[in-house]
């Protein structure tokens, strides 16, 4: 049986930022990650360009329910009529009944921005959803995909182990590895976006990915990584540095705005030092591309510091 893997760039306006993966096994396939509903044409094109039909998509899988991973799940399920959605049990409930997810994002971004960026998110029929417990597996052709729960970035996160191709689809568990930042060697960092950052769990999840022993990790941001050990080491260091910021700010918490600003400044210094350590000079494009990650990481760490402070105070 033919086994193929293909990376799908879901945001051509910003190449190498967010991807999905097409896994082909003979006459059927799986799509892993969906980005937003606007990415659907790219998913369909990837399937059809391999000589497959929409009806041949057996699974649509999401690593977690954050909108840059699962925002296009309902559109994909509508387009691929035979597909079953694969998700962590905690993520699945948000996709079957997305009202709270949509309301929360709309409250943050505003309705116009939400529609422009994320499109439409509809409920997915429960009968078309399969939840994956830790260690659960599904068959694809003559191969098997195994789910491993990996907390630290999100409580509802999983990775998919694809032994037949020597790959682990890692979502955000194994960091962000943007292609344009690899020009001097490996440059990877953790995502600590709101609201579930847990350093101990994140480090355990990174160790879990490495322990699977595969030659390739495939983060959603972005593309295949073969320097697995180097990425693991860098992401681990970033998690440890992030935890140090949480500990510091939890001990002197004043306001969420001020804590976020301090952490954001420290993260800019951290990114710059990380780049210099690998011989990378961050240019204007690099800094622009990292701006959102710095902001989101700071917000996530500030939220963690607030929870830690309130727990200590209580």
pLDDT in tens, 233-242: 999 999 999 9
Residue 196 domain-assigned (yes or no): no
**pLDDT for res 12:** 76
Does residue 314 carry a pLDDT above 50? no
Asked if residue 121 and residue 20 are part of one domain, the reply reads yes
**70 located within any domain:** yes
CA distances from 187 to 125, 246, 276, 280 (A): 40, 23, 10, 9
Residue numbers of the domain that contains 149: 3-165
Q: What is the pTM of this model?
A: 0.94
Average pLDDT of the segment spanning 180-208: 95
The pLDDT, as a whole number, for residue 313 is: 54
Is 188 part of a structural domain of the chain?
A: no
- How far is Cα of residue 142 from the mean position of the Cα atoms in its chain? 27
pLDDT band of residue 268 (cuts 50, 70, 90) is very high
- Mean pLDDT for all residues in the chain: 94
Number of domains in the chain: 2
Q: What is the pLDDT of residues 34-57, one digit of tens each?
A: 999 999 999 999 999 999 999 999
Judgement on whether residues 8 and 126 belong to the same structural domain of the protein: yes
Say whether both 241 and 102 belong to one domain. no
Share of the chain above pLDDT 70, in %: 99
Cα three-residue angle 183-184-186, rounded to 5 degrees = 90
Per-residue pLDDT at 74: 97
Look up the CATH number of the domain holding residue 112.
3.60.15.10
- pLDDT tens across 284-308, in order? 889 988 999 999 999 999 999 999 9
Picking from 165, 194, 225, the residue at the C-terminal end of a domain is 165
Residue 225: name the closest of 178, 193, 295 by CA. Answer: 178
Q: Which of 17-21, 78-82, 99-103, 122-126 has the lowest mean pLDDT?
A: 99-103
Q: Per-residue pLDDT tens for 133-187?
A: 999 999 999 999 999 999 999 999 999 999 999 999 999 999 999 999 999 999 9
| Whether residues 149 and 266 fall in one domain | no
Query: Is residue 189 domain-resident?
Result: no
What integer pLDDT is reported at residue 312 of this predicted model? 66
Predicted local distance difference test score (pLDDT) of residue 2? 81
């Amino acid at each position: 049986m033919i086994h193929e893997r293909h990376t799908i760039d879901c945001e051509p306006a910003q190449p190498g930022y967010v991807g999905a993966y097409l896994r082909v096994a003979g006459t059927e396939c799986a799509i892993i990650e969906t980005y937003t509903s606007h990415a659907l044409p790219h998913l369909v094109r990837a399937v059809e360009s391999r000589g497959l039909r929409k009806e041949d998509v057996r699974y649509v899988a999401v690593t977690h329910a954050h909108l840059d991973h699962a925002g296009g799940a309902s559109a994909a399920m509508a387009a691929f009529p035979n597909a079953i959605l694969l998700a962590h049990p905690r993520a699945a409930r948000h996709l079957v009944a997305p009202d709270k997810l949509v309301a929360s994002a709309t409250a943050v971004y505003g309705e116009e921005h939400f529609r422009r960026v994320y499109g439409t998110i509809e409920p997915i029929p429960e009968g078309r959803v399969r939840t994956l417990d830790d260690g659960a597996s599904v068959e694809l052709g003559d191969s098997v995909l195994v789910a491993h729960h990996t907390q630290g970035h999100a409580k509802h996160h999983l990775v998919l182990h694809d032994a037949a191709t020597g790959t682990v689809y890692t979502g955000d568990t194994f960091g962000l590895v943007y292609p344009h930042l690899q020009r001097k060697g490996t440059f990877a960092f953790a995502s600590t976006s709101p609201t579930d950052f847990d350093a101990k769990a994140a480090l355990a999840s990174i160790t879990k990915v490495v322990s699977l022993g595969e030659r390739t990790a495939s983060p959603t941001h972005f593309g295949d990584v073969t320097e697995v050990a180097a990425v693991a080491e860098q992401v681990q260091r970033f998690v440890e540095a992030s935890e140090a910021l949480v500990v510091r700010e939890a001990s002197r918490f004043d306001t969420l705005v001020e804590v976020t600003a301090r952490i954001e400044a420290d993260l800019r210094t951290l990114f710059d030092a990380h780049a210099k350590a690998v011989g990378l000079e961050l240019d204007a494009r690099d800094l622009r591309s990292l701006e959102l990650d710095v902001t989101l990481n700071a917000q996530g760490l500030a939220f963690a510091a607030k929870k830690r402070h309130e727990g200590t105070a209580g």
